[in-house]
């Protein structure tokens, strides 16, 4: 629901100011699914609001479940654009929702299915937040709840900065979803002005950078955004972010077999990190295994996953060079819900 429209509508209906908070709490904490189920406001008001406003900005089209317990939801916006979100169920009981910030994407990374879609438009704060609410309602029925939110779905968050900021504040708001700031993470492909703006915020939201290559030539081939913000601009911005905020930086590195997974490139990655003292002090490399994706014509992309030997050799070099690293567990690949696979696939209109 567009909360600005809600507030304006309530004022036009002559309702007392506290009605706004009542409805906001009902939606974001009680996880109500429509005006008719908000029993602590008058029936006549429920009927008026139902006539004047859309309770949900997104229409849930399909739900898919993975063998590993994760799930993927396909939504339509009111202007008929498809977006996807993923729920990841971890073994420790935590539940992470991966949200999209754009319909399509402006970055066009060569290994990412979303990039093949082209760009349609940015999503509004309510369209972003409602992806979380959809999974939250599902989990509530099972006695569970969303514990983490990551802005790592379709789109580049920092090319929709104002709206992702509003969505973050709404998710963190004690009168909204009330999720702790440290449980929210934003991933960028390297939009330097966005990184600088993010670092200047008075909050404790986590930052992740999609690096994927240790040199400009390869990174520009994989990620065209590197031509605008090459490593000599990107890395100092990240170093300054860590120095100012004293928060751990997540360096995401997607391993592509035969392309960026050699021992030489592992050493180059270590050299790059060692060149920036703050990044070296407070960062972790998150190694991601490539998940197969299809191009816009339905053909499988040319990339492949690294061999087990290459993966282990890469990890051993990082360890030897005293680089902190983790390996990301892959969830939802059987439903095209893993990293890089979100493409808003539909077989018919709604």
Q: Is 156 annotated as a binding residue?
A: yes
Q: What is the largest CA-CA distance in the chain?
A: 69
Contacts of 280 (CB under 8 A, 6+ apart): 273, 274, 323
Does residue 344 contact residue 154 with C-beta atoms inside 8 Å?
yes
Q: Is 318 annotated as a binding residue?
A: no
Of the residues 57, 252, 315, 339, only one is catalytic, namely 339
102 is annotated as an active-site residue: no
11 is annotated as an active-site residue: no
Contacts of 297 (CB under 8 A, 6+ apart): none
Q: Is 98 annotated as a binding residue?
A: no
Q: Is 210 annotated as a binding residue?
A: yes
The string of DSSP codes covering 17-46 is THHHHHHHHHHHTS--SSGGG-TTS-HHHH
Does residue 181 contact residue 172 with C-beta atoms inside 8 Å?
yes
Q: Is 105 annotated as a binding residue?
A: yes
Q: Is 158 left (phi over 0), alpha (psi -120 to 50) or beta?
A: alpha
Q: Is 330 annotated as a binding residue?
A: no
Contacts of 91 (CB under 8 A, 6+ apart): none
Phi, psi of 349 (to 5 degrees): -80, 160
Q: Is 277 annotated as a binding residue?
A: no
Q: Is 291 annotated as a binding residue?
A: yes
Of the residues 84, 102, 252, 278, only one is catalytic, namely 84
Q: Which two tokens stand for residue 113?
A: 């299915």
Residue matched to tokens 């974001």? 28
The string of DSSP codes covering 246-258 is --PEEEEEEE-TT
Task: Give the annotated binding-site residues.
Answer: 105, 109, 112, 155-156, 187, 210-212, 291
Task: Give the annotated binding-site residues for S-adenosyl-L-methionine.
Answer: 155-156, 187, 210-212, 291
Positions marked active-site: 84, 339
Task: Give the annotated binding-site residues for [4Fe-4S] cluster.
Answer: 105, 109, 112
């Amino acid at each position: 629901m567009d909360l600005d429209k809600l507030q304006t509508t309530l004022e036009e209906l002559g309702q007392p100011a506290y009605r706004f908070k009542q409805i906001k709490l009902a939606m974001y904490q009680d996880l109500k699914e429509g005006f008719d189920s908000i029993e602590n406001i008058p029936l006549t008001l429920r009927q008026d609001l139902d006539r004047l406003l859309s309770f949900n900005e997104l229409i849930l089209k399909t739900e898919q479940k993975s063998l590993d317990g994760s799930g993927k939801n396909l939504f339509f916006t009111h202007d008929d654009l498809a977006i996807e979100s993923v729920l990841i169920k971890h073994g420790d009981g935590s539940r992470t929702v991966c949200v999209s910030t754009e319909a399509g994407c402006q970055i066009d990374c060569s290994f990412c299915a979303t990039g093949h879609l082209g760009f349609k438009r940015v999503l509004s704060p309510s369209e972003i937040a409602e992806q979380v609410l959809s999974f939250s309602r599902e989990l509530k029925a099972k006695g569970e709840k969303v514990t983490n939110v990551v802005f790592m779905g379709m789109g580049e968050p920092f090319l929709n900065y104002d709206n992702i900021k509003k969505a973050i504040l709404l998710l963190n708001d004690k009168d909204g979803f009330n999720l702790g700031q440290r449980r929210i993470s934003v991933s960028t492909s390297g939009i330097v002005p966005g990184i600088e703006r993010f670092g200047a915020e008075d909050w404790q939201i986590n930052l992740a950078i999609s690096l994927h290559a240790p040199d400009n030539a390869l990174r520009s081939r994989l990620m065209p955004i590197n031509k605008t913000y090459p490593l000599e601009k990107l890395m100092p911005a990240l170093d300054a972010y860590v120095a100012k905020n004293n928060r751990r930086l997540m360096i995401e590195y997607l391993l592509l077999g035969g392309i960026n997974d050699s021992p030489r490139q592992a050493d180059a990655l270590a050299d790059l990190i060692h060149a920036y003292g703050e990044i070296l002090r407070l960062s972790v490399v998150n190694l991601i295994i490539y998940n197969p994706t299809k191009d816009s014509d339905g053909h499988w992309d040319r990339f492949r996953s690294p061999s087990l030997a290459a993966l282990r050799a890469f990890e051993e070099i990082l360890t030897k060079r005293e680089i902190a690293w983790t390996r990301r567990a892959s969830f939802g690949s059987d439903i095209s819900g893993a990293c890089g696979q979100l493409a808003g696939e539909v077989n018919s209109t709604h």
